[in-house]
Structure 1
Amino acid sequence: MAAASTDSAMHVRRASTTGLACALLAGGAATLVVLAGFGQPTSALWLSALTLATMIGVPLLMARPAGTHNALATAATLIVTMTAMSAVPPYLRGLAHGTLVATLVLMVGAGACVYRLRLAAVGADAEPHHGDAGGVTNAYRTTASTSRIASLNTDGAVNTGRQTTARLASLALFAGLSSGSLARFQLSALCGASGAQSFWQIALTLTAVCALAYLADRSRGNATLTALYLARAALVGTLALTDSPALAPLAARIFLVLDCLTIPALLNLRGNASNAANASSAPAILSTTCPGIAHHVGMVLGAALSTTSYFFGDGFVVLYAFSAVANVICAASLVSDQRDRSTRHRHSTAYHPTTPSA
């Protein structure tokens, strides 16, 4: 019991330190970009790159330290980091020494990264090591047996991993497309909600993300991800029907919440058991980073399409209708996949009934 409590406390320390480091680095870097005076196109490009780094880095950093609450830790870190990127620059812009403060924030974030690496090293050293001869022999036999079994299933595992990665990329691409299409109403939607936000708005957004992510951790199957895609379709359809720029600030915050929940929900489709055992392998790293990359590509593509002469005018209804239909198709595919899994599980249980214990 004490060991489990210590391990849980270590997970909390790693996750909180990682989240703090990501928020400080992103907030400080975004502030320096804004204060540098590069101009709108160059600043948007740098902020887009920073958003891409956030979407890739946060899920990868949270793959291990989050423990059993991976969706909660990843979603909370994403929303805090994205909020810091949009909220910190307006607050520091009015300071006389804003650049110095932003530099200090970056330095503190780098220090948090170093501390996080030390925590990871301590956690690795704290793992039990079997030094007795019997333990070494048994470990060797177990490893050899596992290697033989794994070698027989290598081709199947590789094919399954490629299919899963391609599926994650397509789902994330369509999700990002619906978020990026909001740029018709708000050009800065490419890098999240913009402008100075009040404390209660930030607290409300963080609370909503944490509550929904906690429910996602406790839910089974693809119910959470299906609901997220249906919510995207409903919101995009509402924007297309109303055509009201006044809804842009609220829609940007809602899409930010959906984005921070969608990426960790997509990671649950990887197959937690196999990827948890090989979290540092190349296929696991690829499947962890591909949702963030594909999501950002979709955001850029949606923003580029929605700001063209045709889609920025009356043709925006076509783009929004396509985005809504794509999200509905994604939700339908998730429902179909869950139904197929349930059918296979019932057939497996029928042909291979469990043996009652003596």
Structure 2
Amino acid sequence: MIDLDKLERIKARWHEVTALMAQPEVATDPARMAALGREHVELREVVEAIERYEALLRERDDLRGLIEAGEDAELVRMARAELEDLEERLPEVEEDLRFRLIPKDPEDARNAIVEIRAGTGGDEAALFAGDLFRMYARFAEQRGWKLEVLDSSPGAVGGFKEIIFSLSGPDAYGTMKYESGVHRVQRVPVTESGGRIHTSAATVAVLPEAEEVDVQINPADLKIDVYRSSGPGGQSVNTTDSAVRITHLPTGLVVTCQDEKSQHKNKEKALRVLRARLYEQERARREAERSAARRSMVSTGDRSAKIRTYNWPQGRVTDHRLEGDDKNHALEQVIDGDLDDIIRALRTAEHAERLARL
């Protein structure tokens, strides 16, 4: 049974957040406004689910009242039919609300920064990294997200040794976080003359994008180098020193960006990636402290875990975190950006696990 008092508290908090966002002192505080804005979006979805659930409960009570009154036989017959239909719909609405009542990761509403790196497999791994990038680009397009390449290093025969890009749109990080880990491919490489199947891999890291108000970077902590950008095989692709390498001295993190012809734009993009990595580093530290003794079955961040295999000869994609019918999917659809079924199954598995712990 859902705690109705809890539902009232959630609705009260939503009204409170709405009122706070209208206050002048909050509007002039970017950090607080950003935090309240994220909470407002999250609460609005929950409040809408609560209102759907409560409307059904009121309708059920009204129908039961009509049936108990029994004043009109035809009206009672119609009320019984409507009540039967409503009681069939109610469990689904209640289950949806239960999922929405699970405390969300506050980072889910953020934009995402995605880093794809070719792993074992040489040129074939770089080609596969390119396939993954195209898969995510199509997925983003289907969702109406904006994709912006922040940095890339092309492979010698195509694809990418590394590509870093941002995804901006509703629930971008909350959706893409399930993609972090090792993606493995089994196929005959274009570079293989003997027709043998090879296994290659690429790693994907998905980070919540940090805003300037989230991470304060002291300029004195940065070592900034500029150099001439280069393409595959090391050839120069620019005649000016526009590429930027930023080293964060306290942590040793290094970020490079060379995609833009403008040094200023490359620096701006590199700082976005650096902020995301610093933010993720701190977030991972806090999460480790909170759950040192507990590991989620649904990986949403371990870039060393093998999460998925793309088997070309069998036309199948296998997600190793799922079971039963959810485990295997049609390769052609997935590689064309149709990730909805996989992500929905992963999200459902994660929700079920978290519900069991409540």
Note whether the superposition's TM-score is higher than 0.5: no
Choose between structure 1 and 2: higher helix proportion.
1
Q: Which has the larger radius of gyration?
A: 2
Q: TM-score scaled to structure 2, two decimals?
A: 0.22
Normalising by structure 1, we get a TM-score of: 0.22
Q: Identify the structure with bigger relative contact order (alpha carbons < 8 Å, sequence gap 6+).
A: 1
